[in-house]
Chain A
Amino acid sequence: QKEVEQNSGPLSVPEGAIASLNCTYSDRGSQSFFWYRQYSGKSPELIMFIYSNGDKEDGRFTAQLNKASQYVSLLIRDSQPSDSATYLCAGNTGFQKLVFGTGTRLLVSP
């Protein structure tokens, strides 16, 4: 079992809809979690991080963390075609190394 798991997708949503991306993790010692966006042929870029249970909002993005269920999610409101990319979830383990899931490909259609 991978330490961080994501559905590879693709997840297809129409422009203006809410995109919901999910991630589960196995290491209960993980303290903080990250969402990165990666466009094709580019490097991952940080969207946001979360380390407390509950929701954290930043513009159109909301990260949600449920440590009891070992579940992290990212909601993208008012999805735009420019949001089409692969979204990588990562967990920071007790050894403070960042372990990534394989990513979910998001397609936003005009």
Chain B
Amino acid sequence: DARVTQTPRDKVTEMGQEVTMRCQPILGHNTVFWYRQTMMQGLELLAYFRNRAPLDDSGMPKDRFSAEMPDATLATLKIQPSEPRDSAVYFCASGLIPGPGNTIYFGEGSWLTVV
């Protein structure tokens, strides 16, 4: 059963600490997205990669956020230093684009709380 795997599922951290979230996309998918979801803003696109190359990270606060894809099986999203306003659910999604419907599939999310 192919699925996107994210770690950690839950993270509580103190303001100022570094947070790293990891994502393993579905094998064979060439595009990986990072989204952040809050009640107020909904699902916001932070960054995405195609064939491991970053295509767009304009949705990401550059001073504290960074996204990388060191290999085809791992994408990372780092926040340093973290702030309470970063508390949200962070979703990774992957897809084969172009492909059938250009559909993407979501991981279960990383629930981040910064206190």
Contacts and interface: CB of A to CB of B under 8 A. Distances in A.
Contacts of B98: 96
Interface in A27-86: 31-32, 34, 42-46, 49, 51
A34 B107 CA distance: 17
Contact of B42 (A42, A46, A101): A101
Interface residues of A, number: 21
B55 A97 contact: yes
Given A95-B55, A97-B56, A45 B106 contact: yes
27 contacts: A32-B102, A43-B91, A43-B106, A43-B107, A43-B108, A43-B109, A44-B43, A44-B91, A44-B106, A46-B104, A46-B105, A88-B42, A88-B43, A95-B55, A96-B31, A96-B98, A96-B102, A97-B48, A97-B56, A98-B33, A98-B93, A98-B102, A98-B104, A100-B35, A100-B42, A101-B42, A102-B42
Interface of B: 31, 33, 35, 41-43, 45, 48, 55-56, 91, 93, 97-98, 101-109
